[in-house]
Structure 1
Amino acid sequence: MAMAMATAPASLSLLLLLLSLLTPPPAHSTPLYPSPYHSPPTVLFPDYRKMTTHFKIYTYDPPNPFHFTTPSETQFHNSLLNSQFLTRNPNEAHLFFVPFPNDFSTRPLSRLIRDLRRSFPYWNRTLGADHFFVSRAGIAYAPDRNVLELKKNAVQISVFPTTSGNFIPHKDLTLPPIHPNPSPHAPANKTASFLGFSKLDMKIQSQSQSETSLVQEMEGDPEFKIASEPLDFGESRFCLFLYGGDLTWVGEAMRVGCVPVVITDRPIHDLPMIDVVRWSEIAVFVGPRGGVGELKRFLSGIDEERYERMRRLGIAAAQHFVWNATPQPLDAFHMVMYQLWLRRHAIRYARREWV
């Protein structure tokens, strides 16, 4: 099935909003809509621009030709191979990319790292801390020394959400999901006729009993709209997602001004763009316990000022979740690269000899 992706750069309205975030507020005034970013825009965007001109990555040749198996992995890999970030001179590289297929078991993965250690000097300088790899579900811990170093030291880029236990916060990254069919534009103003929309994912096998019960209650409540495919996010104030289910619509929901609500009974550490975007300012996280009544009380308790702030900041942040067929400034590919740029300061270990 052909993958549909946006091809146009960020809209004028989004660029104007970002420019307004870069403009310092007048003295003794508080901006109506604070930045959606962890870093002040006056720090973030100059550092991003520096990344686009200075960041260099050396990629090793894979042991055999292969293809990644998910749209976001494939798009990231293709964008990287055709980007200005690649260098053929490993001595000028900030990071080293280790490509291997998702079906690699412990033995061939260990052999791959062993060969890198013996054939190149770069792994031994940091024990892999200035290397990164792409793995759909992430790799698990293993007693093998080579795989363990890859797991603990190298930056893992996986698909969101990552298999439980295979993600190390503050080191690893996740790829924003690719939306299969984005809407042509976001409405400037909307009047929501539903409290919340939820995309019912029949493929989820790991729902807890409380999550299953909540979905069933929402199906019978006229304030919620439940469908197998979204019809119009603009009809709802909130868009509800079960963590672990189909989250490809999260970026699209934000783009059209529908505030995401992620329903989960556990802490989430693998959110896309977690180094850059303040998720607490653009999304709501609630547990499934208490049923639809508690959920409605919680969502209805969000005052209009907070809701409008989250909606506006979500629209601004949504451009970073867009995968363009030809990468555009500040899109998903470039922001994943920026997160790698933030991790380029690897600890340099003393060189040691290996058997």
Structure 2
Amino acid sequence: MGSYFGKEIHISIFGQSHAECIGVTIDGLPAGEAVDEEALRAFMLRRAPGRSAESTARREADEPHIICGLHNGRTCGAPLTAIIKNGDTRSKDYDKLRDLPRPGHADLTAEIKYRGFQDGRGGGHFSGRLTAPLCIAGGICAQLLARRGIETGAHILSIAGINDRRFNALGETKETLDRVKSAPFPVLDEAAGERMREAILAAKAEGDSVGGVVECIVTGLPAGVGSPMFGGLESMLSAAIFAIPAVKGVEFGSGFGAALMRGSEHNDEITLDGGEIATRTNNAGGILGGISDGMPVIFRAAFKPTPSILKPQRTVSLSAMKEEELQITGRHDPCVVQRAVPVVEAAAAMVTLDALLERNTDKI
């Protein structure tokens, strides 16, 4: 059940980093929905590896092949399954890691849980490689949402302590979101982005890595979507975002900053905007009681530094049960944040569509 998500749409991700393929099955999509496969390929290319000096040298086409679930370019009511073939693998890079678990990775916990039967090549099914089929699911969900005036967008808020400007909590234009989506390095302030890239390359030159924060916004979502407590939008979004490898924190609206505010500062006063109910501020991040309030949903996800680094680290030999030094080889991202931006968008789109379908199970 670990790779299964959704209430109204059911998404199951399968495969391992160095298996023949990885993929996703999506059940419950409304029938008759057009899927633009060229737009989906463009979305996938945003997270694909080997496209810049700031990412891993592993090159994968990340070409999605939809093998069922479409008829004449539209969803037909059957589960939609898509696969991505793995090509540029170097499994020998991982031979010694079965005995020497890497610090910061799931090597040790997987060994304990699966008793040595896990596929450790490239991180197996714990690898960030599995965010590619997640992007297939989210990319398709985003197309359905866009037809209903709901847009998801994200950008790099910070890397290595270098900050981009935040999204306007009261909303961003579609033009702004489209511009950042098409940018080679997805930031709002290009000068800040250049400093981030320099920090990534500096860490890479030292055999090290850096982390950062991705900020995401969902605009156009009507009020009344979501449920209280465990079925709330925040709960669902958090679960989906924490499924992305390297995420260590999620906050909504003013987030942890709310702890420093008074109620008179944090409360979003209610007003009328063109005859429609709105709020003057958006410290709640568009969600109250687990339910959308009609304002943009806005949240941020913190990503840890990539754990695969070239610097020597201490670990334990599982066969000899003694401490040893580990020197990791292979091809790894010195920072995952820039490639994680479309992944966060994809997760947000999946949750938003699922919650929208739950609100109106007969139609959306």
Normalising by structure 1, what TM-score? 0.27
Instruction: Pick the structure with more strand per residue.
Output: 2
Normalising by structure 2, what TM-score? 0.27
